[in-house]
Copies of this chain bind each other. A is one copy, B any other.
Amino acid sequence: MSLPKKIIISESGMRDGLQNEKTILSAEEKISLINELADAGLTDIEGGSFVRADRVPAMANSAEVFRGLDYDRGVKYYALIPNRKGLERAIEAGARLVGVGVSASAAHNLANYNRTPEESLAAYQGIIETAREHGLEIRSSIQMAFGSPWERVIPVDHLKRLVEKYKDQGVNTIIVADTAGVATPDQVYETMSGLSREFPGTQWLLHLHNTRGVAMCNLLAGMEAGVTMFAASVAGLGGCPFVPNAAGNLATEDVVHLMDEMKIETGINLDRLLETARRVERLVGHEGHSYILRAGKSCDLLSAVKRQGS
């Protein structure tokens, strides 16, 4: 197994995670959680999205959140923006890293954004230029990269055309997302190897959903293909937009635990992260999809037996 020595985890619980929750957290709660996550060592955190409040009520206070963040601690706070209006609100709130997204599934893009992927990409040109003029960093995403409920198979060549457009727009960090939770490890390996060969020097960020229980396998397959940046969600918050009650993102603590066990550096203190994960579960009022929160760390198993004296 050819694995990297170090990976970066991009924490997506405060955006992708919370937007699937019935309980809406206040801006103060979100800011406090984001600060705790940064204290635990996370350096890349999704702060929220500037979408329509009537469509995603959990994100209505994103401007307040971004205004309250500490930009002096070397953490990148990501804001998802769907359009120019969102960019303007993000700039006003002080965001420094914004992302636009297109779906690899044309039908999904039409259903979600009411425009074709090509129209989305054309519209982003001007938005990205404006963001740059304001000194913002850009990170673009491709949703449904591994299959969608509309088009089951997404050809890698189709992904390459979308990446090419983003690269033409000067974007170098690209989120490749398994929005529908249908990716398999062999597919992730082939896809990410193919994209990396075609676009060397690109920073890929794999955003995996654990809908069908194989997201951790997909993460490892991504690592074997050379990817070093992965989204995960504290306490395993999140869901699948097409399957009610399905598991969502990988729990950040589960990823950190496995990396710790495999001696792959994340820079994250697992014990502090687990404290935050427990607080997140208290705030949303239910258990997330986290294994380590339930089972504890492998190393604690040893001391538990020792304490019992058995």
Partner pick for A245 among B189, B216, B294, CB 8 A cutoff: B294
Complex interface residues of chain A between 62 and 114 (CB less than 8 A to chain B): 111
Residues of B within 8 A of A221 (CB): 1
CB distance from A153 to the nearest CB of B (A): 10
Known A-B contacts A216-B217, A298-B182; A291 and B1 likewise in contact (beta carbons under 8 Å): no
Answer yes or no: A139 CB below 8 A from chain B CBs.
no
Selected contact of A217 from candidates B147, B152, B220, B295, CB within 8 Å = B220
Q: Is the CB of A258 within 8 A of B305?
A: no
How far apart are the CA atoms of A230 and B20 in the complex, in Å? 35
Q: Write out the residue numbers on chain B whose beta carbons fall within 8 Å of the beta carbon of A149.
A: 301-302, 304-305
A298 touches B212 (CB 8 A): yes
Select A246's contact among B184, B250, B262, B295, beta carbons within 8 Å: B295
CB contacts (< 8 Å) of A305 on chain B: these are 149-150, 242
A282 → B minimal CB distance (Å): 18
Copies of this chain, whole number: 2
Asked whether any CB of chain B lies closer than 8 Å to the CB of A213, the reply is yes
Give Cα A295 to B180, complex, Å: 10
Contacting residues of chain A (284-305) with chain B, CB-CB under 8 angstroms:
291-292, 294-296, 298-299, 301-302, 304-305
User: How many whole Å from A82's CB to the nearest CB in chain B?
Assistant: 19
Task: Say whether A184 contacts B258, CB under 8 Å.
Answer: yes
Q: Which residue among A184, A212, A304 has the maximum number of chain B CB atoms within 10 Å of its CB?
A: A212
Bound-state CA distance A151–B12 (Å) is: 36
**Distance between Cα atoms of A217 and B261 in the complex (Å):** 14
Across the interface, name the chain B residue whose C-beta is closest to A190. Answer: B1
Known contacts A242-B304, A242-B305; decide if A292 and B212 are in contact (CB<8 Å).
yes
Asked if A3 is at the interface of the complex by the 8 Å CB criterion, the answer is yes
Chain B residues within an 8 Å CB radius of A147? 298
Say whether A213 contacts B291, CB under 8 Å: yes
A198 CB–B CB distance under 8 Å: no
Interface hub of A149, A152, A257, A301 (most chain B Cβ within 10 A): A301
A298 to B144, CA, bound (A): 13
Choose among B180, B220, B257 the residue that contacts A301 (Cβ–Cβ < 8 A): B180
| Among B111, B247, B250, contact of A294 (Cβ-Cβ < 8 Å) | B247
- Say if the beta carbon of A186 comes within 8 Å of chain B: yes
Q: Is A254 an interface residue, CB under 8 A from the partner?
A: yes
The answer for the CA separation of A220 and B1 in the assembled complex, in Å, is 11
Q: Is B1 in contact with A302, judged by CB distance below 8 angstroms?
A: no
Which residue of chain B lies nearest to A185 when distances are taken between CB atoms in the complex? B220
Q: Does A240 contact B (CB under 8 A)?
A: yes
Question: Could you tell me if B310 and A262 are in contact, using CB atoms closer than 8 angstroms?
Answer: no
Contact of A258 among B214, B220, B254, B301 (CB under 8 A): B214
Supply 4 further A-B pairs (C-beta < 8 A) apart from A1-B185, A185-B220, A243-B296.
A185-B262, A240-B295, A243-B295, A247-B294
